Structure 1
Amino acid sequence: MTVLARGSAVSSATGGRLSPKWLKALAAAPLSAKLGLFIVIFYVGLALLAPWISPYGEAEIVGPQFSAWSSEFLLGTDNLGRDMLTRLIFGARNTVGIAFAATLLAFAVGGTLGIFSAVAGGWPDHLLSRTVDVLMAIPQLIFSMFLLTIFGMSIPVLIVVIALVDSTRVFRLARALAMNVTVMDYIDVARLRGESWLWIMRREILPNILSPLVAEFGLRFCFVFLMISALSFLGLGIQPPTADWGSMVRDNATLITYGDISPLLPAAAIAVLTIGINYVVDWFLDKSSGLREGQ
């Protein structure tokens, strides 16, 4: 009974809703964490309010090509005469939204299979692990380009391809974390009680590995975000006329030759969001692990 109580206590401690303790921790968070939260909230606000706060339509041609910064076009126009500020705002919705969906799907697939592999053991574990080893041996970007060339470059296909490619990394982490939990006494007791492997995965293992998985979610989101931008820059990601930061860099790269920094704005947007997410992830990992509790 003591072992069962321990397992339940750990599960409830990590799997519960946001408590006043976390609210106090948020108030006492370091400046970097607060800055990261502000950046993330700002980008989410842009993504949600893009149709209402942008001065023009997403694909609307409003002026001549490569217009300079002015009161009419605050950040100038692109290679087709579309407003750069509008494209940046809509790019937040498209790029961030697709990256979030792909990361969520990657964790749903990779995390579930990783925990199942650790719980099942035997030939299912060997089969899944060796399959993942083969897929991880192929560079992610090249493998994604190969699959997109075969199956097309629509947004649903892009989300599924990136999620499946990235799920191999999630599988490895989830399996390693779950393996550390499956050797605990309360897992053996749950098996002796006759609990199903699905119950053990959901009630005993997942709550005890949730903190590192959440931290990894933030990091994987950054990698997926950068991969989508790289694919769009190469012409295989989000397709025009949909606004995307990666394709905006490619379409306006000519301006760099003339000393115009407009092509660097989408790149800066990518970099700022990546830094903000990493600040939040670092703070969350510190708080959930207690590594810097006394600081």
Structure 2
Amino acid sequence: MTQTATPTTARRFDYTFSPVGMVALAVILFWAIVAAFAPHLVPYPPGKIVDTDYFGPISSKLWLGSDYLGRDMLSRIIMGARYTLGVALAGVLIASTCGVVLGMAAAVLGGWFDTILSRFMDAMLSIPSKLFGLVVVAAVGSSLPALILTLAFIYAPGSFRFARSLAVNVNTMDFIAMARIRGESTLYLVGAEILPNIIRPVLADFGLRFVFIVLLLSGLSFLGLGVQPPLADWGALVHENIQSLSYASAAVIAPSLAIASLTISVNLLIDNLPRAIRDRSA
């Protein structure tokens, strides 16, 4: 008698980006590479005056013209990418890590720990982010570590509330109850049971908070409280060259477009994250 083999079922993951998502990813990777290799990409030293005319026009020598002192705008935008992306990425990493870990811990532990921490985060969320940033930066200064910690402190409560709401739902499921019966620790529940089940929305929230931090950092720099001279991020470049609007110069338009291209691309990438997951027979 011939025995028929039972077909095995395998789970195959098919991740496909939409064309919009691929373009957005390409723009983000472009700026990431520019930020990483900025010192090797600048055609001129960012602080060197290379043009005798301020707000000089676009030319074969100066691809984006010159700024209010005659410095090369392309070089300053390339170096500004390092500070914009670096400060924003550091801030969102701290904010999301602290917020997600505390949110999951609050959902698992509950009781007084959850109540006190949630009320504190609610109080922090009630403070306007830009006003809080202005007060803190004006009080402690605009050094890069102070900026990073301020931005992280502003956006950690929102990350906490988001992660907690997800973790509360997962915490009521049967596999969590079984893990508790087995005597698993809180660290195991948070890291091995809850986090893998909320990682996708957490990553989407990470991207959105990165955009918020870029915009807030640019706003602070535009007001003169962000990255300080001789360093400059994109928001500071807009602030420095705002008068170039009267001269039809690219000195203020170019950094504005850089901010827009990065933030819009991150939003489009989040909206077009690959979601196609299918089961197929092997």
Is this a same-fold pair by TM over 0.5? yes
The whole-number CA distance in structure 2 between the counterparts of 1:202 and 1:245 is 37
Structure with higher RCO (Cα < 8 A, 6+ apart): 2
Task: Find the residue that maps to 2:130 and give its secondary structure.
Answer: helix
Q: Displacement of 1:82 after TM fit?
A: 1.4
Q: Displacement of 1:264 after TM fit?
A: 1.4
The code of the aligned residue for 2:168 comes to M
The whole-number CA distance in structure 1 between the counterparts of 2:232 and 2:45 is 11
The code of the aligned residue for 1:129 comes to S
The whole-number CA distance in structure 1 between the counterparts of 2:47 and 2:13 is 46
Runs of 4+ in 1 over 4 A off after TM superposition: none
The whole-number CA distance in structure 2 between the counterparts of 1:199 and 1:228 is 36
The whole-number CA distance in structure 2 between the counterparts of 1:32 and 1:76 is 31
The whole-number CA distance in structure 2 between the counterparts of 1:255 and 1:205 is 52
Structure 1 residue corresponding to 2:35, chosen from 22, 38, 47? 47
The whole-number CA distance in structure 2 between the counterparts of 1:219 and 1:200 is 26
Q: Is the 8 A contact 2:143 2:227 kept in 1?
A: yes
Structure 2 residue corresponding to 1:283, chosen from 248, 272, 281? 272
The code of the aligned residue for 1:107 comes to S
The code of the aligned residue for 2:22 comes to K
Q: Determine what percentage of the aligned residue pairs are the same residue.
A: 43
The whole-number CA distance in structure 2 between the counterparts of 1:75 and 1:154 is 28
The whole-number CA distance in structure 1 between the counterparts of 2:190 and 2:103 is 10
Aligned length: 266
The whole-number CA distance in structure 1 between the counterparts of 2:34 and 2:204 is 24
Q: Displacement of 1:226 after TM fit?
A: 0.6
Q: Is the 8 A contact 1:103 1:217 kept in 2?
A: yes
Structure 2 residue corresponding to 1:72, chosen from 55, 61, 67? 61
Structure 1 residue corresponding to 2:50, chosen from 54, 57, 62? 62
Structure 2: runs of 5 or more not aligned: 1-10, 278-282
Q: Displacement of 1:119 after TM fit?
A: 0.7
The whole-number CA distance in structure 1 between the counterparts of 2:39 and 2:208 is 28
Structure 2 residue corresponding to 1:88, chosen from 77, 83, 92? 77
Indicate the RMSD between aligned Cα atoms, in angstroms.
1.5
Partner in structure 1 of residue 107 of structure 2: 118
Structure 1 residue corresponding to 2:13, chosen from 21, 27, 41? 21
Per-residue CA shift, 1:82-104, capped at 9, x if unaligned? 11000111111110111111100
Q: Is the 8 A contact 1:58 1:242 kept in 2?
A: no
Partner in structure 2 of residue 223 of structure 1: 212
Q: Is the 8 A contact 2:58 2:250 kept in 1?
A: no
Per-residue CA shift, 1:230-264, capped at 9, x if unaligned? 11001111111112110111111111123334311
The code of the aligned residue for 2:191 comes to R
Q: 1:122-271 residue pairs with structure 2 within 5 A? A: 122-271=111-260
Structure 1: runs of 5 or more not aligned: 1-12, 14-19, 291-295
The whole-number CA distance in structure 1 between the counterparts of 2:208 and 2:36 is 22
The whole-number CA distance in structure 1 between the counterparts of 2:69 and 2:244 is 13
Greater displacement, 68-77 / 104-113: 68-77
Q: Displacement of 1:68 after TM fit?
A: 2.2
The whole-number CA distance in structure 1 between the counterparts of 2:96 and 2:216 is 16
The code of the aligned residue for 1:87 comes to R
Structure ranking higher in helix proportion: 1
Q: Is the 8 A contact 2:55 2:247 kept in 1?
A: no
TM-score for both structures, normalised by structure 2: 0.90
Per-residue CA shift, 1:94-117, capped at 9, x if unaligned? 101111111001011111111111
Structure 1 residue corresponding to 2:24, chosen from 36, 41, 48? 36
The code of the aligned residue for 1:240 comes to P
